[in-house]
Structure 1
Amino acid sequence: MPGMTMGMSVVAGGGDGALYSPAKDKAATRNSNPFFFFCNNVNNRSPPLRRTRQLLASARIKVVLPLCFLFALILFAARAAQLMGWNHHASSSTSLTASRAGYTVLINTWQRNPLLKQAVAHYASCSGTDAVHVVWSESDPPSESLIAYLKKIVLSKSQSAHKPNFRFDLNEEDYVNNRFKPIADLRTEAIFSVDDDVIVPCSTMEFAFSVWQSASNTMVGFVPRMHWLDEEKDGSTYYKYGGWWSVWWMGTYSMVLSKAAFFHKKYLDLYAHKMPSSIHDYVISERNCEEIAMSLLVANATRAPPIWVQGKIYEIGASGISSLLGHNRRRNKCLNDFISLYGSVPLVPTHVKAVHALHEWFW
């Protein structure tokens, strides 16, 4: 009817009289847009895309999970080191000083000059050796020829520009306590105490020294020993001293012997001036057990176990005091007498062993 529009409009210039539809016009515009066409086709292929995303997510999980496990392992190792008393602060002044200064080799000898010559020549060749001291307790002083020979061998065997100091520490009395006498002019904090018939390879020495730097208050050595409660009777407690085979069988130790061990120089002063004089007298009368006395001293000061370092060492002598008949019985007696004098058992058992990871094919 004339004058009525009915809400419809005709497409201008359509030519066919078709009605105008905004929805159709919008759809036509989208379909003619190349970007919309690409997105629309991608959406139409959503299942392959979803699989791709799932594969990428799975790959990310496979990468992230091992990294998380490694991070957790590092945190656990750091925490374990703290609980053990290890201190891995390489930037600390103490560690840096000890690293630069190296260590002093303290050789205990007794009437075995051929063995002493071998020991001095070997330890002078180790790069970390800052000085070599020979504890001499014989009635006659060392001969001039022996002194000259050893000084010459130290200079010739040293592999570093800094040549180690060498000297004899002479003692008037033949006491086994002499091996732990204080040394006034030491330049190092680290002492490597060793018998004249024990050879530790230089590479093994350097590893043990690095272990000691991380725990410089304790003893770090190669010869572990143990103690355990044997029996109780009449109100008294008795302990037993265990040698190498006891350590091997039980996997536990509470001492490392000073026949091949690192410790801080301060323990020389403590041994000489702070340890009960009754223990000094006992060691002198028995001519034995000074190594147990030192282990008890360090354990009493730290309340921590020593550290046993895995490494091959060589005994070049024919035999030692440990081969004598009744040696273990005497050690049992020493241990119980020392514990009685201390009034407690400061020794701390442990199962930990320091192993050089680069030398292990599987760990």
Structure 2
Amino acid sequence: MRIAMVTDAWTPQRNGVVRVLSSLISGLDSMGHTVKVMEPSAFASIPCPSYPEIPLALFPKSKLAAMLDEFRPDAVHLATEGPLGWAGRAWCLRHKLPFTTAYHTKFPEYVQARTKVPLSWPYAVMRRFHGKAAATLCPSPSVFRELRQRGFGGAVEWSHGVDSETFRPQGKDFFDLPRPIFMYVGRVAVEKNLPAFLGLDLPGTKVVVGDGPARAGLMKCFPDVHFRIVDGDAQLSAAFSAADVFVFPSLTDTFGLVMLEALASGVPVAAFPVTGPLDVIGDAPVGILSHDLKAAALQALHLDPGECRRHAARFSWVRVASEFLGHLRPIMR
């Protein structure tokens, strides 16, 4: 099958959406499918406000239409709701062709956090974008239920996976810091709710691995926290493995792929009992979910690393790719 993957998020960006899409595409390639990624580097662009590392394609409609016409896809998937996603949607609607979408990010909550507009406004925009899709893929059961309740009639359950060969237990010597090490990995941005973790009175050391618009401000506010940036998956996987507990303070993630990467590395998770952690951890003995994040972090120290690794193995990218194919709507010519 020839699959057009239209996305505003792609390399060299470092975020969960790019990780999911690149892993998914690798799986589809290995199954014999041809995937054409249509992403911002092929277009004139401007930096996204408050996220300058994310380019937004300028007036991509005509060029993207030409790319889709030339590729002649058997199926079209719109992975994001940015300028390219809207341009891909317009092409499909103009030609009366089916397409699927995905709900990777809680943009309404992010917009509200920055602008204080009523949450109903950005959700109305999201319903418009996804409303014509044959299916909107939801990365977790919690997101599926939330979107159904908000009137997204095409929402379907999907899942995410983890590369358990890259992310694996490999010792604790990557950091030479007092233990225990409580670590967060991911974008350093306001929506990640990092002060809820960084302000905790915990023994040992708190470490943040990642970059983002809030990093400089948080470094000033929390001088006792160690902030690191790693280069590539080899260093990233070593950093995961070196932690004693992975702390995930976000209240707005749709899944939280980094929790799976920590678990595959044999590191238990401490998080709030919200969408994402409830889906990745649930009631499995691999993490502690509590509104008291400090208590959760301390209790997680006593969980079995081997059980964490076995739990992560249930989330296979092969299964994710197969589910994705099942949700696609082939174009009948």
With the length of structure 2 as denominator, give the TM-score of the two structures. Answer: 0.26
Relative to its length, the structure with more helix (as a share) is 1
Query: Between Structure 1 and Structure 2, whose CA radius of gyration is higher?
Result: 1
Asked which structure has the greater RCO (Cα within 8 Å, sep 6+), the reply is: 2
